[in-house]
Amino acid sequence: MQKKISLIIVFCLFLSLLAVPANAADGISVVVNGQTLALDQPPEIMNNRTMVPLRAIFEALGATVDWDAVTQTATAAAGATTVSLTIGENTATVNGVSTTLDQPAVIENNRTLVPVRFVSEALGADVSWDAASQTVTVTMGAAATPEPTATAVASPPGGGFDLTNFTPRPNAKIMAQGKDFTIIMKPDGSVWTAGSNYYGQLGNPTDYGDRKASPVTTFTKVDGVDNAIAVDAGNETAYALEADGSLWSFGANDSGQLGNARTDESASPVKVKLDGVTEISAGSDYAVALKSDGTVWAWGKNDVGQLGNGTPPPPGTGAPDRPPQIAIEYAPIQVSGLQNIKSISAGDTFSAATDGDGFVWMWGGAAFDASLRKMVNFPTVHTYPVKLSTVEYNIPVQDVQTAVCGSFHVSAMKSDGSVISWGNNRLGQLGDGKFTGATKIVTSCEGVAALRSDGSVYFWGQTPFTPDYVSVAQQVKNLSDAIDISCGKKVYSGVSVYSAQTGDFLVGYRGISIGGATPYFLVLKKDGTVWEYGDKTTQIFDMNN
């Protein structure tokens, strides 16, 4: 008898999956390719994830659905992509690869509910959320496509740069350094890397995953990325932005840094699930991208609000910000409330964006340093962007062209070439506020470098250009032909970092005090050579070869 009852329950659950939605849900709406889904079970928010009826969303995305009543597993297939979810399990599989779920599939009112963002993005769709209208919008072509690789996309002309008539872009990098590797874009739009490849951050399967393997000391071309207009580097993840607005990533993905809605790392370029990108900026374990429509998107680690997708508390409530419930986002989500943005910068745990009116917005863990909070009246965590010129924060920042983030400070270049800074100043990184004539600025952990149109480079704070920190801008000696500059990730005392100039890992670089940092700076000269400034000054690359 008990066996018959169990079979009846399982059969009823199976029939529930076959049910066709009949009535529109109240509250949250789900729109797929312009059509609002009629759902007989309203969407629900669970663990900060929107859950929708399984069969309704899968079939709207053109997928076929199979239900295994014994294992309580639903499997959907569309094109070359197969997705499987099991009731109550916090992992799912996409083409056999296991992926962690923030919220597992559940059964509510005899309907199987699944996280709409995960299943949609797994099948190749784009997902957005409008908090004002409580609407989830899913956009997808007629059929799902498999996870793209870099060789699958043919880029139009327009990548690279003219070395002969080069003008630095204040908001873009053609060379960058991660924690233990270097990435450089050549004038023809190709991308080259050297250093450690343990996480695949070189975009090359050679010695991938072998911690004992020696660093790759010769720059090698990244296959499949041939029309780049910008690059950047996180700790162990690299990014290349192409002329068609597509963004490619490779390397570590333990915190969702690849932005491809997967959890596995990649030694080959994979496409970030975002189009129309005009600028990329990499934080330590997250990234921020600017789209052509002026909106800002972010993905990766979100434990202190780095992704800026929080909601401000009601006015006058005095309610404090709280750390976001979702600590990792594996695909891009929109930063709340930002419009008409012209430039972006991702720091270690906080970001800045400059709008078309020259005002600066900030969000994230603006840091854990007490002096920073005191100086800018910024709480430990801000999960949504705030405008710094407001009465609450009272930082007179305006007429800014671009703002760049250090570890505990921010420097901004104004339209007249002057530079202003705010935040922590323990090593003089705020300068004296008198520097002018900048065409580009970059920040390290606790230092700043500025390029002038005459090819000279100036610095203040903690930099490799002098043994001690300085609080007044000083010119780099014997350098008058620079046309672009960049700064590597910070190097903490006692933490090893790969040096492209020696091919070795350095430990306790320059013997700096614990908690201090001295980075490497990269300089592109007029003759096309790239020089690394660290404990030595060494040519590491030639754009002409």
Tell how strand 135-139 and strand 29-32 pair up: parallel
- Range with the lowest mean pLDDT among 47-51, 255-259, 408-412? 47-51
Is the model's pLDDT at 3 over the cut of 60?
Answer: no
Single out the residue of 186, 294, 268 nearest to residue 231, CA to CA: 186
CA distance 388 to 238: 30
Is the model's pLDDT at 321 over the cut of 50?
Answer: yes
Looking at per-residue confidence, does 265 or 55 come out higher?
265
User: What band does 73 get if pLDDT is binned at 50, 70 and 90?
Assistant: confident
Looking at per-residue confidence, does 408 or 541 come out higher?
541
Q: Taking the CA atoms of the chain, what radius of gyration do you get in angstroms?
A: 25
Q: What integer pLDDT is reported at residue 519 of this predicted model?
A: 60
The hierarchical CATH code for the domain 2-145 is 3.30.457.10
User: What band does 502 get if pLDDT is binned at 50, 70 and 90?
Assistant: very low
Q: What integer pLDDT is reported at residue 348 of this predicted model?
A: 85
Question: For the chain, what are the domain ranges?
Answer: 2-145, 444-545
CA distance 91 to 139: 24
CA distance 289 to 278: 8
Token digits of residue 215: 């660093």
CA distance 53 to 39: 7
Secondary structure letter of residue 150 according to DSSP: G
CA distances for 125 relative to 47, 117, 223, 504, angstroms = 22, 9, 26, 43
pTM of the entire structure? Answer: 0.70
Percentage with pLDDT > 70 across the chain: 78
10 Å Cβ neighbour count for 154? 8
Is the model's pLDDT at 319 over the cut of 80?
Answer: no
Q: What integer pLDDT is reported at residue 504 of this predicted model?
A: 41
Half-sphere exposure of residue 173: CA atoms within 13 angstroms, side-chain side? 32
pLDDT tens readout for residues 162-202:
888 888 888 789 999 988 899 999 999 999 999 889 999 99
What would the mean pLDDT of 315-325 be, rounded to a whole number? 56
CA distance 519 to 134: 45
Is the model's pLDDT at 297 over the cut of 90?
Answer: yes
Is the model's pLDDT at 15 over the cut of 50?
Answer: no
Q: What integer pLDDT is reported at residue 375 of this predicted model?
A: 42
Q: What integer pLDDT is reported at residue 382 of this predicted model?
A: 77
Is the model's pLDDT at 509 over the cut of 50?
Answer: no
Report the chain's terminal Cα–Cα distance, integer Å: 79
Per-range mean pLDDT, top range of 86-95, 137-146, 211-220: 86-95
Which residues, listed in sequence order, are joined to residue 99 by a DSSP beta bridge? 92
403 neighbors 352 (Cβ within 8 angstroms) = yes
CA distances for 326 relative to 15, 98, 238, 309, 528, angstroms = 33, 19, 23, 10, 44
Residue that is written with structure tokens 């509910």 in the block:
113
pLDDT tens readout for residues 334-373:
999 899 999 999 988 899 999 999 999 988 875 433 333 4
Looking at per-residue confidence, does 14 or 193 come out higher?
193
Residue that is written with structure tokens 């979100």 in the block:
302
pLDDT tens readout for residues 235-284:
999 999 999 999 999 999 999 999 999 989 999 999 999 999 999 999 98
